[in-house]
Amino acid sequence: MLSILRDQVLVTAGIAKSKAYAVNDTIVSEGMADRCLYLIEKGSARVSGRVALADGRHIQPGLCDLSRGEIFGELSLFDAGSRSASVIALEDVEVLEFDALALERYLDQHPEQGYVVLKALLKILSSRLRQTDRRWEQLFAWGLKEHGIDQHL
């Protein structure tokens, strides 16, 4: 369904451009305020967040790995907020980088394609939300047990 994003018209129109990243390069950083959507064309990347520990240290756990055909940065199509995670290349990576505002205008002008992309994005977001819910439940249960709260429930 996201094959529409591979249409050369988007590159020609300046909506998308090809970019390459080497192993360990940061593609996006948590807190960045750009409005780009990325489609991985080659390679794989890791999405990670920054977590503050009680002792003041910070860790950056991997949240998921993405590979060819997968997207990230999709929230930038709907929201101007800053990046909620970092994405680092696990190997040499080639992406199509889309200007989210230009892509939104293009999809508004081509509603049939816009519908297909929106439907695909909703499926991706639903899947990621379900995964987040499962992780949240596991972390919450772990926290209750770790702090002895589970025995009072």
Mean pLDDT per 10-residue segment, the chain (153 residues): 82 94 95 91 90 68 85 86 90 96 93 88 85 78 79 67
**Residue 51 pLDDT:** 67
**Residue 59 pLDDT:** 60
Instruction: Domain 2-152: give its CATH code.
Output: 2.60.120.10
**Residue 91 pLDDT:** 97
CA dist 88 and 76 (Å) reads 18
Domain ranges across the chain: 2-152
CA neighbor of 49 nearest in space, from 91, 96, 93, 82: 82
Q: What share of the chain is helix, strand, coil (3-state, %, to 5)?
A: 40, 30, 30
Helix, strand, or coil (residue 29): coil
CA neighbor of 71 nearest in space, from 33, 120, 105: 120
Helix (H) or strand (E) holding 144: helix 111-146
95 touches 39 (CB < 8 A): yes
What phi and psi, each to the nearest 5 degrees, are found at residue 24? Answer: 75, 0
